[in-house]
Structure 1
Amino acid sequence: MDEEGHVYPRAELHLPDGQRVQVQVTRCRPDRRGRFWYDYTLELPTRVDDRRYGPSPAVHLFEGSAPHPIIQPIEGEDYRAIHAPPPEERQRWRLAPAPQPAWSDFFVHRTDCAQAENAERLLTDLEALEMLADPAVGVPCPVCRPDTVLRTQ
């Protein structure tokens, strides 16, 4: 479980020297050739030195990524939550009330736009295009310009 409360499935990581360790898989995504890459975390024991109390055991969190078959699924684990949704279902845009309602009801922003702090919800590509189709309903943010990307959709 991470600091946000997500419980990630376990998988078996095959190390170059033949050892096998269990890791937590946090994400799965295909590359351009269709091979699946798994992002994972591995907790390793380490030591922390304190001047007053001396050495004490601690945990070092190692993060990495490896393709299948270097990472193998473990029977009984549920991997559905770590797969990215299909492109048409990805929510890549933010919808925020327009600062001056006379222009439009809403601004459509990119997810990383600093102007979208008061965003009400996330949108898919299709939803964003529908919002931008009627300028009385939604207009593109003049800072992050989502229309430049959506124009190719």
Structure 2
Amino acid sequence: MTLVRERPAIIAAWPLREDARAAAQARQLIRGALTALGLQADLVDDAVLMVSELVGNAVLYGDAPFELVVRSEQDELLVEVLDSGTINPVMRVAGPEEEHGRGLAIVREVSKARCGCRHGVPFPTREDAYGKSVWFAIPMRCQVPVPRLSGDPL
């Protein structure tokens, strides 16, 4: 027998700005969405921090366009930042005087290593566009209704 994991349902997807203001936009979007879903304030704050780091990295090291996606999967939410770049993000150790280089370590720590990168991911808001997804998962301590999207099989 082969177990097939269903595709996580998209709860929300937003195209992001293609400049440094994308991180602020993404923080506002994720805070609003997760608060509306009823997640606890500490989980929302953690997600806002991690989204900010991932969007900042996408703008600095990835390629436009950028998207923010929230998916529901069993007992967790997957939050993805998509860009059209092909280079995997690399975690590095930043020196105490360095301004950059801590983002992925922060995401790894705050998400308790429930994070990663995958390629060939379709952009939900752009037809025929594919890219790289850098993602993290957050546990749901509440019931999140999963909307049925038009076109999803029953």
Is TM (by shorter chain) over 0.5?
no
- Give the structure with the larger strand fraction: 1
What TM-score results when the alignment is normalised by the length of structure 1?
Answer: 0.22
What TM-score results when the alignment is normalised by the length of structure 2?
Answer: 0.22
Q: Which has the higher contact order (CA 8 A, sep 6+)?
A: 2
Question: Radius of gyration: which is bigger?
Answer: 1
- Give the structure with the larger helix fraction: 2
